[in-house]
Amino acid sequence: MTVDHSPAWIALNTHADSVRDKHLTEMFAEDTQRFEKFCFSAAHCLTDFSKQRITEDTLQLLIDLAAQQQLPQRIEALFSGEKVNPSENRPALHTALRQPKELPLLVDGNDISTEIHASLERMEVLVDQIHNGQWRGYDGSPIKNVVNIGVGGSDLGPLMTCRALGQFAPEHIRDIEVHFVSSMDGSQLARILNHIDPASTLFIVSSKSFTTIDTLTNANTAREWLVDNSGLPIELISQHHFIAITASPNKAATWGIPEKNQLHFWDWTGGRYSMWSVIGMAIALQTGNENFRQFLAGAHKMDVHFRSAPLGENLPVLLAMIGIWNINFLDIHAHAVLPYDGRLEHVPAYLEQLEMESNGKSVTLQGDKLNYATCPILWGEVGPNAQHAFYQLLHQGTESVMCDFIAPAIRYQDQGEDLQAQHQLALANCLAQSRLLALGDSVLDDADNAPAHKRYRGNQPSTTIMFDTLNPESLGALIAMYEHKVYVQSVIWEINPFDQWGVELGKHVATSLLDQFTEQASSDTDCSTKGLIQYIQRQRKESNDEG
């Protein structure tokens, strides 16, 4: 029996019939205690679900569904290293990466905690060497620029976190600049290479597989640039200017990065769950080893909460189950993530990968086709800027969209009143928008007299997530909360959140098309693709003839 035919799902469907037509204005009018009832706090985070289209019965039925799907057992399976990723026959142990050293974790008889901390400590030594100026470029210069070359999970997490926590860098490491290069077209790399000095630049090639063409192409270009600028052989350049972070040491060695310049992690760390491993080196370089440890500690706090709190008070569980309610029972398939703090500008892109690469699936763990929706389309933007871009659609478009508003309660405590006032302004806008989305123009006295094009229908559900201040611990907890939310939803939908087979075929097809740019377009290529290849070939020929 699939979950959509189960008793708990059917009960929710029946319940949804009585809630679907209810407006949030009615819900707030009927129950003035909604905030007290639907607001929960743990591990630095406060989550206010009162602007979701739920009642107390909804929550209870959602918890029944979670219990029916044996969620507590599945949470235990995740933490204890069971093979929760069956299509790749492995566990998903990102929670182990942030577990304190003194807690052992036996997987297949090995204490992986010892290995994890040895790897982390080795990373810290390298970070210290770079910060202290002991790591030198080919002419003896200390390192001033670090370029992380990676893509997907080997880029988005470190980039998001560096941008969020950059201000926490202690004074002595501030003269090292950390850059990120991901895109295979070379535009980011070309821009950076134009204004950095080769002798004082270190490249970190971050790739779990060490086969990702995007990353290897950028790394090749970076190495050629160094060889050309230094006049030195590749081996020498690799020793001074390249570090590999990978779960495939042999491939990194074959590419040319010596073992002593490598940091390793494991195949049981999913790419999009890897920034807690040595993939987070860019974060430690940007913010310092101690802040990276705090970041891990924050995530661990959320792990402890997720593993131990009752389902009805468990933040990741509630976030996930209310998402399921919106998607599967209220038919909402768009999800906007709206941070009201510019430091969190890369959180939406990070969550796009986390959520959509994990749960963008349409077959069960057993390979059966699903009859119900899974991951919605998720996108987002820094809230105040999005207000001037796509909020029009949120307020007056035809689509139902669920929103996450994210903001720290306090900011700029030591930076003067003007900036504090700017933060207050952002918070006022955050609260105003979620209020309007929920209640529409009923917040006005005379809305009924307004013309149709000025009306706000409201009833768009949202969750507001707040924390006291943005710091390494609170960010770690926030991100771990989303990771666990994704896992909980996968348990309910009975899908595998830890594989990503849907990205593989494109890589193979691209490789075969690449050959056709120089050769004849293959006869079994579709006419659109063939036409476009011929257009590219013609343009290139004309440009070469002119040159």
Binding site for ligand F6P (CB under 6 A): 151-154, 207-209, 212, 215, 271-272, 357, 500, 503
131 is catalytic: no
What DSSP string runs through 174-201?
A: TT-EEEEE--TTSHHHHHHHTTS-GGGE
Beta carbon nearer to ligand F6P, 58 or 154: 154
Beta carbon nearer to ligand F6P, 141 or 209: 209
507 is catalytic: yes
- CA gap 516, 61 in Å, rounded: 56
Residue 16 Cα to chain centre, angstroms: 31
**Cα separations (Å) of 64 from 7, 58, 331, 490?**
10, 10, 20, 16
361 is catalytic: no
Question: Which one is catalytic: 83, 454, 507, 541?
Answer: 507
What DSSP string runs through 303-372?
A: HHHHHHS-GGG-HHHHHHHHHHIIIIIS---EEEEEESSGGGTTHHHHHIIIIIIHH---B-TTSPBPSS
Q: How many helices (H) and strands (E) does the chain have?
A: 23, 13
486 phi/psi in degrees, rounded to 5: -60, -40
| Least distance in angstroms from the C-beta of 100 to ligand F6P | 26
CB 458 within 8 A of CB 399: no
Question: Which one is catalytic: 195, 260, 369, 388?
Answer: 388
- CA gap 408, 149 in Å, rounded: 31
463 phi/psi in degrees, rounded to 5: -115, 135
| Least distance in angstroms from the C-beta of 415 to ligand F6P | 36
Beta carbon nearer to ligand F6P, 119 or 207: 207
| Least distance in angstroms from the C-beta of 149 to ligand F6P | 10
Question: Which one is catalytic: 357, 473, 483, 494?
Answer: 357
Strand partners, 203: 147, 242
- CA gap 142, 162 in Å, rounded: 21
Beta carbon nearer to ligand F6P, 277 or 459: 277
Beta carbon nearer to ligand F6P, 59 or 243: 243
Beta carbon nearer to ligand F6P, 85 or 215: 215
- CA gap 503, 510 in Å, rounded: 12
| Least distance in angstroms from the C-beta of 360 to ligand F6P | 12
| Least distance in angstroms from the C-beta of 246 to ligand F6P | 8
| Least distance in angstroms from the C-beta of 432 to ligand F6P | 37
What residues are annotated to the active site? 357, 388, 507
